Amino acid sequence: MRRIISVLMENAPGSLSRVVGLFSQRGYNIESLTVAPTEDETLSRLTLTTVGDDHKIEQITKHLNKLIDVVKLVDLTEGAHIEREVMLIKVKAAGAQRAEIKRCVDIFRGQIVDVTASLYIIQITGTSDKLDAFLQSVGDASILEVVRSGVSGIARGEKVLSL
């Protein structure tokens, strides 16, 4: 099953490499990874998505927790949560295609953030599934370049991941 694990850790040199190293060392896979400092600049918030059965996920969370730099972590997929990913995509957009793509962008509530005579740069935000769906509807033929941010997530309701 796909899991979103959110980690609060010391914003210290080497802490990211320890997280990434743990995954390769123990043969766990990372599907996506995002990391940035939080409002408290001594802390970073890292969100990663991974797949595995319950036993594997339990081991992953235990090993992450063991890292000295990790303050706290939560498996967001265990409860109600909001997840978002941002995608920037450069597509061919000429002639009749332009209107077609524009319509598609509107349906997915994306934005066209840059325009030339022959292409658009589109920005879309949403769950990973939604981004996948958008890519499918635009079609490989017109896609020139895709950049995805990886998933970020936060638990719904009162639950807070903080010191």
Partner 1 sequence: MLIRSLRDEGVKYLFGYPGGAALHIYDAIFRQQDVQHILVRHEQAATHAADAYSRATGEVGTVLVTSGPGATNAITGIATAYMDSIPMVVISGQVMSHLIGEDAFQETDMVGISRPIVKHSFMIKHPSEIPEVVKKAYYIARSGRPGPVVIDVPKDLTSPFETFPYEYPEKVKIRSYTPATRGHAGQIKKAAQLLLEARRPVIYAGGGVVQGNGSELLTNLAKKLNYPVTNTLMGLGAYPGTDPQFLGMLGMHGTYEANMAMHHADVIFAVGARFDDRVTNAVKQFCPNAKIIHVDVDPASISKTVTADIPIVGSVESVLSEMLALILEGEEKPEEGAIASWWTQINEWRERHGLYTAPRYDNSGEKIMPQDVIKTLHEVTGGDAYVTSDVGQHQMFTAQYYLFDKPRRWINSGGLGTMGFGLPAAMGAQMADRDAVVACVTGEGSIQMCIQELSTCTQYHLPIKIICLNNQALGMVRQWQDMQYSSRYSESLYEDSLPDFVKLAESYGHVGIRVTKKEELKAKMEECFAMKDRVVFMDISVDTSEHVYPMQVAGAAMRDMWLSKTERT
Separation between Cα atoms, residue 108 and residue 131, nearest integer Å:
9
CB closer to partner 1 out of 66 and 157: 66
Task: Give the footprint of partner 1 on this chain (CB under 8 A).
Answer: 9-10, 13-14, 17-18, 21, 25, 55, 58-59, 62-63, 65-66, 68-71, 163
Instruction: Give the shortest CB-79-to-partner 1 separation in angstroms.
Output: 21
DSSP states of 38-94: -SSTTEEEEEEEEE--HHHHHHHHHHHHHSTTEEEEEEGGGS-EEEEEEEEEEEE--
Instruction: Give the shortest CB-153-to-partner 1 separation in angstroms.
Output: 21
CB closer to partner 1 out of 15 and 128: 15
Residue 19 · residue 74 · CB < 8 Å? no
Instruction: Give the shortest CB-141-to-partner 1 separation in angstroms.
Output: 43
Q: Give the relative orientation of helices 96-107 and 128-138 as an angle to the nearest 10 degrees.
A: 160
CB closer to partner 1 out of 29 and 59: 59
CB closer to partner 1 out of 13 and 157: 13
